[in-house]
Chains A and B, each alone.
Chain A
Amino acid sequence: MILESKSFQLFPESASNFATQVDGLYGYMIVISAFFSILVAFLIIFFAVKYRKRPGVTVASHTDDHSIGAMLLEIAWSVIPLGLSLVMFAWGASIMFQESRPPKDSLNVYVTGKRWMWKVQHLEGAREINELHIPVNRNIRLTLTSEDVIHDFYVPAFRTKTDVLPGRYTTEWFRPTKVGQYHLFCAEYCGTKHSGMVGTVYVMSVEDYNKWLAQGNGEGSMAEDGESLFRQLGCGNCHMPDGHGRAPDLHGVYGMNVDLSDGSRIRADESYIRESVLYPQAKIVAGYDRIMPTFKGLISDEGMLKLIEYIKSMGNPNGVVSERPLAKEPSDIQKTGPMALPESEYKAPAGGPRPSAATGKQQ
């Protein structure tokens, strides 16, 4: 258990799928850096001693730096470091590419940052503050947003972090590989108690995790809560399930590409849904009027996450399994940004490893 004792250590615990990769890259860079630092230090000390000024020797020798040898030397010490650093670039980029693509089978957890605490919401309904309980060897995808300033969700043992922005969703994923307790830090300065915005990530065996899930969360799942919000806010008055309402039917919309009135298409991801609720005039679905009022101020950030989770859980009204969403297009990526890039979350109501409102809590 990393949190207890250990007063002296050089490396953080290595507890995720990314940790060994990042440590490997770090090792490569340390070796290269040490080589060049020692080389330069050695040469300087060696030259300072060997060519120290001696009395009697007055005229400085003149090395010709326009010779071919000198030119080759200049080229060598430009090209070799460039080559070595391009390896670093490719290596670092490949790690980041994995980090920006959460696997489709990820377990979703929602995180809201607020000065100075972390609020965690599990799909099944469990809520935590400054703690995150997750099962080992399972891909975990966090969807993060902030209620105030920019925070950053950082777990050193997992070697990954993501800024948590107000008014936007970012994602972070990892697969914990080792049961234990790990530090959770806010890494983006957020004011007075920034250093108090810390918590603990509990990576548990699957049995322990199921036990933890089963105990003491009487509340409904996020999707169930979202459904009642949907009713309270009267969303269904217009977004009617048969498609004849004044607003589009939301069944099966999540993860699909939507045609807009200006002729463009957009993928219906978390950020799009959020924007449509808070700023309905921003993007109008083709064939519909600009009649939706804003719900800004009527719904909290946490409520929004529940609403989104409910919309995600809404299948096709006829029970017909929808087609898989369209392949990602570059234009979608541009619009939503890679950190918010959703995987195809949409699953037919009965399928998928993720519990939905219909299938209940069988994790």
Chain B
Amino acid sequence: MITAPPQIAEPKNYLNAETGLKSWLLTKDHKRIAILYLIVVSLFFALGGIFAGLIRMELATPAGDLFDSNTYNKVFTMHGIIMVFFFLIPSIPAVLGNFFLPMMIGAKDLAFPRINLLSWYIYLLGGCFTLYVLITGGVDTGWTFYTPFSSSYSNGYVVAAGLGIFINGFSSILTGLNFIVTTHRMRAPGMTWFRLPLFVWGQYATSAIMILGTPVIAVTLFLLVLERGLHIGFFDPAYGGDPVLFQHLFWFYSHPAVYIMILPSMGVISEVISTFSSKKPFGYTFIAFSSIAIAVFGFFVWGHHLFVAGQSIYAGLVFSVLSFIVAIPSAIKVFNWTATMYKGQVRLETPMLYAIGFIGLFTIGGLTGVMLAALGMDVHLTDTYFVIAHFHYVMVGGALLGYLSGLHFWWPKMTGRMYSNTWSKVSAVLVFAGFNLTFGPQFILGYMGMPRRYHVYPPEFQVFNVLSSAGASVLGLGLVLPVFYLLWSLKFGEKAPANPWGATGLEWQTSSPPIASNFEVTPVVTHEAYDYSTVQEVVHIG
């Protein structure tokens, strides 16, 4: 750790520019709104994590000894809904994107600061519906809400849960809109499109998906609510509906939503790998355009969730081949990140450890996704633990590790404090090891044929379930540690210099934490992003 440069007086920054609860709840500063999001998103993550822990406890034995079936079904449903809609989708865009997208392009704020605050309140309102569902007795449809079970048979609070997600969707749409307009209209002088940091490219692609996809899930859930409440037939054959129609509509959003979760993480990884290799990302344009390619192709692969759902085999063929094609831009990114480290100056600081963990786990998640894209393979593996393992490798190994990497990367800038190097590295290693122990065995379980959403299971599946539950406790420990050392750093951490990692982005050229208007003078950009020859020797050595 470095010794903080002597301070004359506590300088004004966005944190101490105004004080009082009201100054936070009515703030229009994108940085403060990001902190508001950070707090609520973290609470939802903790809640979703508790449900995950309960699932793994129950599955440690083949019998249903901890819960009855109804409770178990509600537990995995709440885990899915909270993690997908209230953690993964908002996490990076609403926290890190909100804070850093304007700073990285040299802007004072987002294009619509009031709409930005509104999106946080909408997110809170959606969250309240979900908490209401939780407190009054839960919902047991799974996060996928398949009809006609959800519309005619489930006895949970389907309408309230659906409305919660419906409302929350508007928060995503507004954030996406804000990011797109900001990126188009508010770039600093000289910040051309191909000088944009790759994180901004990732956020831009994500925002496009949010705007185009989210209305579809909103309408779908609204139709579900209509059918359940008023018996207007859309999906239930008893009312003349088509049950598979729901799956088409649901996955038309929910598959692109997977890219809403992973693209921002990929943006973070591009920043972190470059910074901690002190080298421009290899194939900048390939990485940038692969984000756009993923956003576009991602809209045409939803049918791979329906290979065994009675979909025509010819439709299946088209969706299968497109699913293979959408994997290629991801492969390009992985190879480019790896090549970035070649002949760099690699420093294994905590954000870099998380980023390397991301590459490893995301590679496995992506390759197993490719397996599932093959028709004959998917017939055997769909709806088994293989699928569970696959999407956790992408969602946790990918999206969550990217978020943690970004949080550790930008924490000094956001808070003006350095966290403990040792503890954060311990945490990164525990998360990586615990994660693999939790979800690795589930690939084997899936190929053996253990179906997902099973409360009790045949005894021959127990060995790998016990391994998985043991891994979950290691993973849980690794995820609890940051709560302590990050909160500790707020009070006791070393003061962070403006650019502790020797990074090149504009956000590092202002003080830590930044002043309310981000920059003293609007920066003028004269060279490409990631030009490390302009960065002074890194002061902070871990």
A and B interact physically: yes
Q: Please list the residues of chain A having a beta carbon within 8 angstroms of any beta carbon in chain B.
A: 3, 6-12, 18, 21-22, 25-26, 29, 32-33, 36-37, 40-41, 43-44, 47-48, 51-54, 57-63, 65, 70, 73-74, 77-78, 81-82, 85-86, 88-89, 91-97, 99-100, 115, 148-150, 152, 154, 156-157, 159-163, 165-168, 170, 183, 185-196, 333-334, 337-340
**How far, in whole Å, are A187 and B380 apart by their CA atoms in the complex?**
10
Q: Can you list 5 A-B contacts with CB-CB less than 8 angstroms, sorted by A residue number?
A: A40-B338, A47-B342, A65-B284, A96-B307, A156-B384
Pair B307/A192 contact, Cβ less than 8 Å: no
Are A93 and B360 interface neighbours, CB within 8 A?
no
In contact, A97 and B313 (Cβ under 8 angstroms): yes
The reply to whether the CB of B454 lies closer than 8 angstroms to some CB of chain A is yes
Contacts of B454 in A (CB 8 A): 185, 194-195
Q: Are A195 and B460 in contact (CB under 8 A)?
A: no
Which residues of B have CB within 8 Å of A88? 324, 370-371, 373-374, 377
Is the CB of B325 closer than 8 A to any CB of chain A?
yes
Min distance, Cβ A84 to any Cβ of chain B, angstroms: 9
Kindly state the separation between the CA atoms of A64 and B30 in the bound complex, as whole angstroms.
Answer: 37
Contact A65 B310 (CB under 8 A): no
Report yes or no: A60 in contact with B331, Cβ–Cβ below 8 A: no
Q: How far is the CB of B23 from chain A (nearest CB, A)?
A: 42
Partner of A166, one of B148, B371, B453: B148
Residues on B with C-beta less than 8 A from A193 are: 69
Complex CA distance for A78 and B367, rounded to whole angstroms:
14
Closest partner residue, chain A, to B338 (CB atom) = A43
> Of B97-105, B195-203, B443-451, which binds chain A?
B443-451
In chain B, positions 16-74 with a C-beta closer than 8 Å to chain A are 64, 69-70, 73
Known: A7-B459, A10-B444, A183-B449. A29 touches B371 (CB 8 A): yes
Beta-carbon contacts under 8 Å, B375-404 to A = 375-380, 382-384
Determine whether the beta carbon of B451 is less than 8 Å from that of A99: no
CA distance A193 to B140 in the complex (A): 12
Chain B residues within 8 Å of A160, by CB: 379-380
Q: Which residues of B contact A99 (CB under 8 A)?
A: 376, 379
Q: How far is the CA of A52 from the CA of B541 in the complex (A)?
A: 13
| A18-B449 Cα distance, complex, nearest whole Å | 15
Within the complex, the shortest CB–CB distance from A17 to chain B, in Å, comes to 12
Q: Which secondary structure dominates where chain A touches chain B?
A: mixed
Q: Assess the A44–B360 pair: CB atoms within 8 A.
A: yes
Contacts known (A73-B339, A167-B237, A189-B142); A78 close to B332, Cβ less than 8 A = yes
Q: Is B346 part of the binding interface, using a Cβ–Cβ cutoff of 8 Å?
A: yes
**Chain A hits for B380, CB < 8 A:** 22, 156, 159-161
Q: Are A48 and B314 in contact (CB under 8 A)?
A: no
Please report the C-alpha to C-alpha distance between residue A328 and residue B149 in the assembled complex, in whole angstroms: 35
Interface string of B223-252 (1 = CB under 8 A from A): 000000000000011100001100000000
The listed residue (A44, A85, A188) touching B146 by CB distance below 8 A is A188
Whether B451 and A96, one on each chain, are in contact in the complex, defined by CB atoms closer than 8 angstroms, is no
Cβ-closest 5 pairs across A and B: A156-B449, A95-B376, A92-B374, A167-B237, A96-B375
Instruction: Tell me whether A187 and B346 are in contact (CB under 8 A).
Output: no
Nearest residue (CB) in B for A9 is B460
Alpha-carbon distance A154/B378, docked complex (angstroms):
12
Q: Chain B, 504-542, contact with A by CB distance < 8 Å: what is the 0/1 string?
A: 000000000000000000000000000011000100000
A77-B331, A165-B243 known; 6 other A-B pairs, CB under 8 Å? A7-B463, A54-B345, A63-B342, A93-B375, A186-B451, A193-B69
Could you tell me if B69 and A165 are in contact, using CB atoms closer than 8 angstroms? Answer: no
Among the stretches B126-134, B212-220, B275-283, the one at the interface with A is B275-283
Which residues of chain B from 121 to 152 have a CB within 8 Å of any chain A CB? 140, 142, 144, 146, 148-149, 152
Instruction: From B325, B346, B363, B451, give the contact of A48 (CB < 8 A).
Output: B346
Bound-complex Cα distance A41 to B342 (A):
13
Closest beta carbon of chain B to A354's beta carbon, Å: 25
Q: Is the CB of B344 within 8 A of A51?
A: yes
A361 to chain B, nearest CB (A): 32
Tell yes or no: B422 within 8 A of A by CB: no
- A86 to B323 alpha-carbon distance, docked (Å): 11
Q: Which residue of chain A is the closest to B307 with respect to CB atoms?
A: A96
Residues of A with C-beta under 8 A to B462: 7
Contact status of A196 and B456, CB under 8 A, knowing A25-B374, A188-B383 = yes
- Chain A residues within 8 Å of B70, by CB: 192
CA distance A59 to B536 in the complex (A): 10
The answer to whether A191 touches B448, judged by C-beta atoms less than 8 angstroms apart, is no
Specify which of B243, B320, B343, B449 is in contact with A93 (CB 8 Å cutoff). Answer: B320
**Cβ-defined contact, A85 with B153, below 8 A:** no
Give the CA-CA distance A59 to B279 in the complex, in Å.
Answer: 10
Residues of A within 8 A of B284 (CB): 65
Complex CA–CA separation, A77 to B342 (angstroms): 16
CB pair A191 B154 closer than 8 Å: yes
**Is B356 within 8 A of A44, CB to CB?**
yes
B350 CB to nearest A CB, Å: 14
Which B409-461 residues sit within 8 Å CB-CB of chain A? 444, 447-449, 451-460
Min CB gap B480→A, angstroms: 27
> Chain B residues near A187 (CB, 8 Å)?
382-384, 451-452
Q: Please name all residues of chain A whose beta carbon is closer than 8 Å to the beta carbon of B279 when the two chains form the complex.
A: 60-63
Task: Say whether B192 faces chain A, with CB atoms less than 8 Å apart.
Answer: no
Separation in Å of the B290 CB from the closest CB of chain A? 9
B73 touching A59 by the CB < 8 A rule? Answer: no
By a CB distance below 8 angstroms, the chain B residues around A25 are: 374, 376-377
Could you tell me if A337 and B310 are in contact, using CB atoms closer than 8 angstroms? yes
